[in-house]
A and B are shown apart, each in its own frame.
Chain A
Amino acid sequence: MDKTNDRTVYANPGDIELTRKAADDNVELVADRLRKMMPECGFGELGTCCVMCYMGPCRIDPFGLGARTGVCGATPDVIVARNFLRSATGGAASHAGHARELAILLLEIAEGKAPGYKVREEGKLLSLAGKLGVPVDGRPVDAVAGDVARKALEDFGRQDGKPMNWIRARSSRIEYAKWEKLGLIVSNPHNEIETAMHRTSMGNDADPLNLWVATLRMGMVDNFAGLMLATDLSDIIFGIPTPKVVTANYSVLKEGEVNIACHGHNPILASKVAEWADRLEGEAKAAGAGRVNVVGICCIGNELVMRYGVPYAGHEAQTELFLATGAIDAMVVDMQCIMPSLPVIAKCYKTRFITTVPFVRHPEAIHVDFNTGAADERAQEIVRHGIAAYKERKAAGIRTRIPDVSSKALTGISVETLVSVLSTVDAKDPLKPVIDAIAAGEILGAVGMVGCPNPKLRDGAMTEKMAEGLLRNNVLIVTTGCVNHILAQGGFLTSEATERYAGPRLKKVLTAIGQAAGLGGPLPPVLHMGSCVDNSRIYDLLAALAGKLGVEISQLPVAGSAPEFITEKAISIGSFFLAAGILVHLAPAPRVFGSPFAVSLLTEKLPALNGGKVLVAATPEAAVSGILAHLREKRQALGLAQA
């Protein structure tokens, strides 16, 4: 980490300002801890460290002088495959948990047990019900909702080995047949997760290929039992995202207001907090504050911004810095990506740190036992914590600093939105303009940039530089997750970005669409498709494009990239995109290099089998050139014009 001085034009001046303030306040940040950790353990980096039984820990000498197998005899190929499967399982478990909460909520809504919530998107409910074989004619909405929820929960409990309802309902025939052939159709997410943990524990599966197939199956669990189920049900309960122009970055915090930051992933809690923030404005005024200002951090920022237009604060790596502003009264979190450092830092600034999920707790946090049956009461309690903390913070004279940095961003481009925007160009056949533009080489291809901000690559502005490189080469970008925050703060989610970064051909297409849609400028070159579970939207879009062309998704000139990933969730999402036959770029390097088998499988054998391929490139230049080469290869295979 000798890159601290390598600040780029993309470096967020607010980050720099608050890093200095945190140093003055003696607050340790993620970058400080990372510096102390470097260099990180090479055995772990290669994936050849095994701690699954107590004959170990075992580590394989990658240079061949020392141990060549673990104490149990596991080869590095087996150790790497087991470790990787376990990470994919961690990610899929997170997404399945997220989705299951929503399925239970939908059932509670149908049964009248969750008075604070209702079905907002009847159209999507009915269309999904149709796909799931749930009768809809003449039935009340709640009855249909109950049956859809039961179909979802049936998937979690299915023991008959039959394919998941969601896979049957939500995959195209051509992809389904391909997965069936490869043995990737899964029946029950919980069974897959159980089996993965079982087979990777001491003395079970020692066939690297069998273990890697299980990883691809875990990808299927992730997408169909996690991402897609969660997106479908979120849309039904909270509404389909619509385009919203919002403000991003630190200046969304307001001096003189009760600032409540929502952090985490599931909109069940945060939507209620946002609602009660408005309803309790009177109490905030009585406490001497202007109003209650809710802002969204991390994926909850994406969920709130694209449905309610809530200010779009920042990404996961900025959470500590947001606290260091001293201007946040309450940070309320649900699950995933919540650094344990946060409640400790919150204490320094009299910020109330509120956990709400039984399995996400911290000794320094206030725990509010949030549940859907009493959602309104709990949300009020949380907002009142913020109001009370505001008074305390003012009385204590906490020094605040809100960096004056902001940018505009167009968010909320769901597939439904995109289709309606494109309908303005061609009402009968909305996807035609995009397909024509791809065919003519005006759009060279599309890349889904997804995932997290990794402090290891943040100083080099990996994500921004990659985005710029791709756009210059006429590649359209769709994004989800915290990458959205990075690119929003870098100004990529605007019409101006099209003028500034897009190559001439891409600029022409986006300008035409923007004008037809009445945006008053070009469509932004980076399309915000939501949170990390909304990668299902990217898959839906690709499936629609492939379906229109009558080809497999793997034949499209598209790629996925997690340019700064951190979490196991990125591993499981990537595993699904590999199963779907898409090139997946990863940085930092996945922990597979200790296994020659894994390297050859992911770069040579799998591409030949189903088109899926891993590209590891830790510099933006290498990533862009690798992806461009892939897109050109796919175009050539389809006989498309070379741009």
Chain B
Amino acid sequence: MRRVVYDPLKCTACKTCELQCSVAHSRSGDLLAAIFESPPPLPRLSVAWTPGVNVPVKCAHCETAPCLLGCPVGAIRREGKSDSVLIDEDRCIGCFSCVLLCPYGAVRLSFDRKRAYKCDGCADRISEGLEPACSFSCPTGALAWREVEEVAREKTALTAVRDAAALARGGEIAAGEGSPLGTILKMREEMARG
């Protein structure tokens, strides 16, 4: 299962993702034409900011999506093929429930259209064999179109590295004092030597 994942350390807030998302959701699909469209196309994600970190915030297409569960008129559904949580704008009554329920703030209300809108996972692009516009356009790789399992495996590996470093530091402090941690580390070293 692929998702757009983000790495806040790489985001420079150039907002190319927002721009390209707008273009992907315009009628023409072309930047130079899209800026003349009325109403203007809307970006489905936005770069949030707090000192020291930029975070491109978008719909996570949750497995148990609060917006879907909370929609009183059943306007939100999960589309099986691209595994996206989609809003059917024709059925939407503009009640805000999804906006309030979303834990990310990824759902917005369009005052022009009086409808809720959000990231549709670029279902159209994916059906054409392309990746979502935001990750495709990200110049630094802060947004990436990746297998979630693979991301998890990498995080697991990083956890091991991090814990090993912590243990080693702990060992240095504990060494020579006959502490249980020191003993365990010494035993491990001897076991490794055989």
Contacts and interface: CB of A to CB of B under 8 A. Distances in A.
Contacts of B18: 61, 66
Contact of A594 (B15, B35, B42): B35
Nearest to A594: B35
Q: Main SS of the interface on chain B?
A: helix
A490 B16 CA distance: 38
A42 B43 contact: no
B23 interface: yes
Interface in A37-81: 37, 39, 41-43, 45-46, 59, 61-66
Interface in B109-140: 136-137, 139
B136 A63 contact: no
Interface in A586-600: 589, 593-594
Which of A37, A45, A61, A62 neighbours the largest number of chain B CB atoms within 10 Å of its CB?
Answer: A62
A65 B43 contact: yes
A63 B32 contact: no
Contacts of B15: 43, 59, 61, 66
B142 interface: no
B19 A43 contact: yes
B182 interface: no
Interface residues of A: mostly helix, strand, loop or mixed? loop
Give the interface centre of A42, A45, A66 by most chain B CB atoms within 10 Å.
A42
Contacts of B19: 42-43, 62
A42 B42 contact: no
B31 interface: yes
Nearest to A589: B32
B84 interface: no
A593 B43 contact: no
Q: Which of A39, A41, A594 counts the most chain B CB atoms within 10 A?
A: A39
Interface in A1-57: 37, 39, 41-43, 45-46
Given A63-B42, A65-B42, A42 B31 contact: yes
Contacts of B139: 37, 41
A63 B20 contact: no
B14 interface: yes
B41 interface: yes
Contacts of B43: 63, 65
Contacts of A589: 32
Contacts of A42: 16, 19-20, 23, 31
B22 A63 contact: yes
A616 B33 CA distance: 12
Nearest to A588: B32
A589 B31 CA distance: 11
Given A59-B15, A63-B40, A39 B20 contact: yes
Contact of A63 (B14, B16, B35): B35
Interface in A573-621: 589, 593-594, 616
Contact of B35 (A39, A41, A66, A593): A593
Given A39-B137, A41-B14, A62 B20 contact: no
A61 B32 CA distance: 13
Contacts of A62: 19, 31, 35
A256 to B, nearest CB: 46
Contacts of A66: 15, 18
A66 B43 CA distance: 11
A46 to B, nearest CB: 7
B37 to A, nearest CB: 9
A63 B26 CA distance: 10
B133 to A, nearest CB: 9
Given A59-B15, A64-B40, A65-B42, A39 B136 contact: yes
A46 B35 contact: yes
Interface string B2-39: 00000000000011101110110000000110110000
A589 B34 CA distance: 14
Contact of B16 (A39, A61, A594, A616): A39
Contacts of B35: 46, 62-63, 593-594
A211 B183 CA distance: 77
Contacts of B32: 45-46, 589, 593, 616
A63 B41 contact: yes
Nearest to B20: A39
B142 to A, nearest CB: 14
A45 B14 CA distance: 13
Given A63-B40, A65-B43, A45 B31 contact: yes
B99 to A, nearest CB: 16
Nearest to B16: A41
A37 B137 CA distance: 9
A411 to B, nearest CB: 36
A61 B43 CA distance: 11
Interface in B17-75: 18-20, 22-23, 31-32, 34-35, 40-43
Contacts of B31: 42, 45-46, 62, 593
A626 to B, nearest CB: 15
Contacts of B136: 39
Contacts of B40: 63-65
B130 to A, nearest CB: 9
A3 to B, nearest CB: 14
A43 B93 CA distance: 34
A464 to B, nearest CB: 24
A570 to B, nearest CB: 18
B50 to A, nearest CB: 18
B58 to A, nearest CB: 15
Contacts of A593: 31-32, 35
Nearest to B32: A593
A528 B33 CA distance: 35
Nearest to B138: A39
Nearest to B23: A42
A61 B23 CA distance: 12
B46 to A, nearest CB: 9
A571 B20 CA distance: 26
A59 B15 CA distance: 9
Output the residue of A37, A61, A616 with the most chain B CB within 10 A: A61
A530 B131 CA distance: 45
Contacts of A46: 31-32, 35
A593 B32 CA distance: 7
A46 B34 CA distance: 12
A61 B17 CA distance: 12
A66 B42 CA distance: 11
Contacts of B34: 63
Contacts of B20: 39, 42
A561 to B, nearest CB: 18
Nearest to B31: A42
Nearest to B35: A62
29 contacts: A39-B16, A39-B136, A39-B137, A41-B139, A42-B16, A42-B19, A42-B20, A42-B23, A42-B31, A43-B14, A43-B19, A45-B32, A46-B31, A46-B35, A59-B14, A61-B18, A62-B19, A62-B31, A62-B35, A63-B35, A63-B40, A63-B43, A64-B40, A65-B43, A66-B15, A593-B31, A593-B32, A593-B35, A594-B35
Given A39-B137, A46-B35, 5 more contacts: A39-B16, A41-B14, A42-B16, A64-B40, A65-B40
| 8 closest A-B pairs by CB | A42-B19, A63-B40, A62-B35, A39-B137, A593-B32, A42-B31, A63-B22, A64-B40
Interface of B: 14-16, 18-20, 22-23, 31-32, 34-35, 40-43, 136-137, 139
